[in-house]
Amino acid sequence: MADTGRDPPLDQSGFQELEDGEDLFPEPASAQESEPASLPAEDISTNSNGPKQETLFDDDPEDLFAEATEEVSLDSPERDVLLSDGPSPAITPITPPTSVITPCISHAHDDMFTHSSFDEIEEEEASDSFDMHISVSDPEKVGDGMNAYMAYKVTTKTSMSLFKLNEFSVKRRFSDFLGLHSKLASKYLHIGYIVPPAPEKSIVGMTKVKVGKEDQSSNEFVEKRRLALERYLMRTVKHPVLLKDPDVMQFLESSELPRAVSTQALSSAGLLRMVNKAADAVNKMTIKMNESDTWFEEKQQHFENLDVQLRKLHGSVESLVCHRKELSVNTAQFAKSAAMLGNSEDHTALSRALSQLAEVEEKIDQQHQDQANADFYLFSELLGDYVRLITAVKGVFDHRMKTWQKWQDSQLLLQKKREAEAKLQFTNKPDKLQQAKDEIKELEGRVQQGERDFEQISKTIRKEVSRFEKERVKDFRTIIIKYLESLVQTQQQLIKYWEAFLPEAKAIS
Amino acid sequence: MMEEVKEVTPSLSVHGHSSKVTEVLKDGDTLTFLIVSQKLSGTGEYHVHRTYDDFEWLQQHLFSQEDVPGTQGVIFPPLPAKAQVNASTKVMKQLGFLGLGEWKLYCMALETFLHLVAAHSILSKNKAVEIFLTSPDPPGRQRTRRNIFNRLSQAVEEMRKEGHKDVDEFFQTKRDYNFVLTGCTKNAAERFLDVVLTEQKIATACGHFATALHLCVEPGDDPDKQAFTKICVKLSEVFETMKKNMASVAENDISTLGLGLDLESRYQEAEKEMFFRRTCKLVELETARRNAEKAKPVKKAALEEVRKSAETEFTDICRVAKKEIAEFQAARLVMLQQALVQWCEKQLHTARESADQFNQHLQAFRGMA
């Protein structure tokens, strides 16, 4: 049986990376007015993974991409990207498979992509300027026991013509958000778009909620998650390409959503994933890309540095939040002791002053709690979001490397086939010769496609990075302003408290 | 008859109530304090060097003042616990607020001790005070005698006398009141110390964050990079301000209310000591009375003498104690008021300053394109 079009398994990738959406799914596309940059079209039959994988793990192919780990912390080396387990609704391939496209010269392919280029999308976006606000609210526990879950209300307010209504709400659960991210990641990550990562799972947090503990820590957990989901959606829709994705729009608009299934915490195939990650890491080390573009080298280094710095800052803020909570506890205890002192004191004016002191300290305690919340919800979460976002950025750079590798592999194969063909010329095997010529033709097409893919992803990444850097400035500035406003307000409140206390203190004797 | 105008020589030749403990010198493990006192005559100053042992010498002499009746009824100004270089955790805990910072507060506490002693009508007349403040040589070192003034050497049986029921309602009430207040004050001082220590931790954490932000600075001409760099730099300034604000708040806490609660706490303990001495004398008196009553005629006279002297001593102590209690109540009101007012004023000032600074930062960020 001839291995038509199957790549010979390369040593360095014993397990083919399963992340490459292009290997497994027909290229998805949006059916709406504009499309994302055309995705590399590829026949499934050219699936380099092939039966080899399926024979090994045939129990639940759908589950191949479920996360293996439970708690995914900020420190997990590479956050698993959940990929969608099936074609999304309302998806129809728009570009025909490779075999139909006549091989063209690799450069000047803008004509093929201008219709769906990023530039055009940006233009459209500018005219229909971004006016959208999403809020996630009203967490509601649905069901009982371990099958219970939280349902969140997702409300969208927009004047954009993209949507049917100006204001609409739907109910979604956490796995729906994960499902959305998984679909977007499978469609866009491998072609260079920085898909915002979904908030993290937390078995511990959710179990408490399921069990029904209505205590402060489980309330805090739900609140933290609610805000994280809101930020996630806002980041996603701020991306001009993702906003127009049908999955995103369906998520926001439609009242019924098919249940995302591949988000279970534990899965046997998840172990496969972990193994692949290890192989992946080895892979990365051995891909020595001939980087002709220093921009990419610089940027990669820059993101590595930023990652390290942000993690440090995040740790710093966590420590600050901890101390503030401690200060709140200590202040409350001091307030109590001052109240006791005031009660025991005989002298009327002094007793009164001490009681007032206790009241002031109680108010200050409340301030400390509010400040701790501000520290956390503004800074700690912002930094955490960006650390996770950078992981997505790094992933995109990795995909570019893989794309390059694929192109190189095709070129090598083509060369080999040409050499083999040359040899066949001297033998009397006309059908074998024809077969070789056919293979070469196909490979030539593949090589060109590979080069186009590589250029496209490089172009996309440049745009995405620029967008990231602009958004970053906006994001940080907004948060910092909120934080400063809270700081100013706290001090002004404090001034009022002290001004009220001063006459009490003076009246002692 | 014309009254002889007795020339009253002032007990101290210096303004003891304004002596200053200006310096601390470290000599190996020993701390030496420089005390500066102004001469009453206005002609100059005395500069003397004293160690903690010298302070203890002074205190011992005050305790053992024999010439004035009823000294056991005095509420002795409390001397802070001994400070050490490289103090252990236990010693630091005992020192509380006084252990914070570089001995500045400790010096202030020693100063206060000297002021209180010099202002005391009975104690200021003790020659030891004059020697302590003016003699160029260190006063003699005396081994701490085991005496009723040194609580640490009390035997367990004597401690049980503390709860002995009083014969005088006034004193019983005062004793009960003191007992409650001492506990509450100590508790409040300890809780307040916890607050201050956490404030200092936060100041440090803000400082770290401010420094870490500088590492996020990105070189390059790229306008987005420059914008982000600018944000990091400005945010670092914000956290520096936060650090200064917290440090200031903690400093205000320590130097006013912290010191005040510390002194109040130790002074309450001193009053407690006085009550204890009086109670012991009461027990002694009651015993003497019983003994005299039950005495056989042979011993009666002698025991009567014992009873008489015990009664006189007890009466003297009560007289002095009543005066001391009144003075103490008045003095602590003034002291606490001062502490609270200063604390409030300083915190108010800091809050106004910080509000201004944060507002400036806010405007700067809003103004950023």
What's the pLDDT at A393? 94
How distant is the alpha carbon of residue A79 from its chain centre? 9
Query: Taken in order A480, A481, A484, A490, is the CA torsion positive or negative?
Result: negative
How would residue A280 be classed by pLDDT, with cut points 50, 70 and 90? low
CA angle B249, B254, B255 (to 5 degrees): 100
Q: Which of B185, B198, B225 sits opposite A323 (nearest CB)?
A: B198
* pLDDT of B348 over the 90 cut: yes
Contacts of A508 in chain B (CB under 8 A): 333, 336-337, 340
Residues of B in contact with A501 (CB under 8 A): 344
* Partner residue facing B358 (CB), from A306, A331, A487: A487
Q: Could you tell me which residue, B137 or A104, shows the higher pLDDT?
A: B137
Which residue pairs from A284-287 have beta carbons closer than 8 angstroms and sit at least 24 positions apart in sequence? A284/A398, A284/A401, A286/A12, A287/A12, A287/A401, A287/A402, A287/A404, A287/A405
A506 interfaces chain B, CB cutoff of 8 Å: yes
Per-residue pLDDT band at B232 (split at 50, 70, 90): very high
Q: Do B209 and A320 touch (CB under 8 A)?
A: yes
Judge whether A491 is closer than 8 Å to chain B, CB to CB: yes
Range B311-316 average pLDDT: 92
When scoring A305, A309, A379 by the number of chain B Cβ atoms within 10 A, the one with the most, hence best to mutate, is A309
Q: Strand, helix or coil at A84?
A: coil
Chain A residue whose CA is closest to B345: A502
The order of strands in the sheet holding B20-27 is: B20-27, B30-38, B45-51
Name residues 92-111 of chain A within 8 A of B (Cβ). none
Q: Is A340 on the interface with B (CB under 8 A)?
A: yes
Average pLDDT over residues B219-247: 91
Going by the DSSP 8-state scheme, the letter that residue A10 receives in this structure is P
The per-residue pLDDT for range B84-120, each reduced to its tens digit, is: 887 788 888 888 899 887 788 999 999 999 999 999 9
- A471-489 pLDDT, tens digit each: 999 999 999 999 999 999 9
Tell me, yes or no, if B336 comes closer than 8 A to chain A by beta carbon: yes
In chain A, the residue whose alpha carbon lies closest to the alpha carbon of B208 is: A316
Q: What is the pLDDT of residue A288?
A: 67
pTM of the model: 0.78
Q: What is the reported pLDDT for B368?
A: 84
- b/e sequence A11-36, b meaning 16+ C-beta within 10 Å: eebebbbbbbbbbbbbbbbbeeebbb
Percent of chain B residues past pLDDT 70, beyond the cut: 91
Of B354, B358, B368, the CB nearest to A477: B368
Distance separating alpha carbons of residues A391 and A124, to the nearest angstrom = 29
DSSP E strand boundaries for A65-160: 132-142, 149-158
Distance spanning both ends of chain A, measured CA to CA: 105
For residues B89 and B82, what is the distance between their CA atoms, to the nearest angstrom?
Answer: 13
The pLDDT tens digits for A433-470 are 888 888 899 999 999 999 999 999 999 999 999 999 99
Beta strands in A391-505 (DSSP E): none
Residue A286 near residue A12 (C-beta atoms within 8 A):
yes
Chain-chain contact of B215 with A312 (C-beta, under 8 angstroms)? yes
Q: Which chain A residues are Cβ-neighbours of B188 within 8 angstroms? A: 334, 337-338, 340-341
Measure A151 CA to nearest chain B CA, in Å.
37
Residue A82 has pLDDT above 50, yes or no: no
3-class secondary structure, A339:
helix
Residue A365 predicted with pLDDT over 90 = yes
Select the more confidently predicted residue: A481 or A255.
A481
